[in-house]
A and B are shown apart, each in its own frame.
Chain A
C-alpha cells in the first residue's frame, strides 16, 4: 500500500458510509527493532494546518478554543478500524461517536438550525 497515494488526504466514511472528513494525518510508531507501523489516522485540528505552517496550526488551536465545539486537538482513529482503502477509506466506527463531525453538528445546531428553513425537513 502506498500511504501517500492510497490513504493520505483520502475521504473518510464510517460504517454507514457517512462522510467523516479526510485523512489529514497519519501517526506512525517507530520501534527500535521493528518495522515502522501506522497506528492512527488523524482528522482535522492542528494536524492539517501543521502541514502548511505552524502559524496556521496555532491559529486553528486558538479558534478551536474560542469558538465551536471546543475540541482539543485532532481526532485520532486507530488504524485497526480501517475496513477498506481505495477511492475512499472506510472505517468501522460511527462518525458521531468519533468527534470527527463535531464541527458539522455544532454549526448545524448553533447557526444553521436557527435560520428559518435550516432545520430538519424532508430531504429532496
Chain B
C-alpha cells in the first residue's frame, strides 16, 4: 500500500515536472528582451551605473541564448524554425552589441541598436501570440 502511494506520488511529480512549453520559453525570452530594453532606456538617461547596465545586458544575452537553444531543440509546430532562429540570433547579437557600446560609451549607436531591438521584440511578440493561439 505504501509502495503504491509512493508510486502514484512519483508519477504525479514526474508529470508535474514537465519541461516548459514553447510558449513559456518564448515568454521568458520576451521577458529578458524587455529587461534589455528597460536597461537600455535607463542607461541612456544616465540613471544606472555602467557596470550594472553592461552586466545585466550580458546576462540578458546569455539567458536568451540558453533558452533559444532549448526552444529550437523542439520548436513549436507550424512555425518557420529558420525565421525564429534568425530572429532570436539577431536579438541576442543586438543585446551583446549594446553591452559593448556601454563600455565604448557610444550613446547614439546604442540608441539605434535599442530601436532595432524594440522592432525585433514586437515581431517576436506577434510570434508568441500566434503560438499561444494555436495551443
Would A and B touch once assembled, by the CB under 8 A criterion?
Answer: no
Query: Which A positions have Cβ atoms within 8 angstroms of B?
Result: none
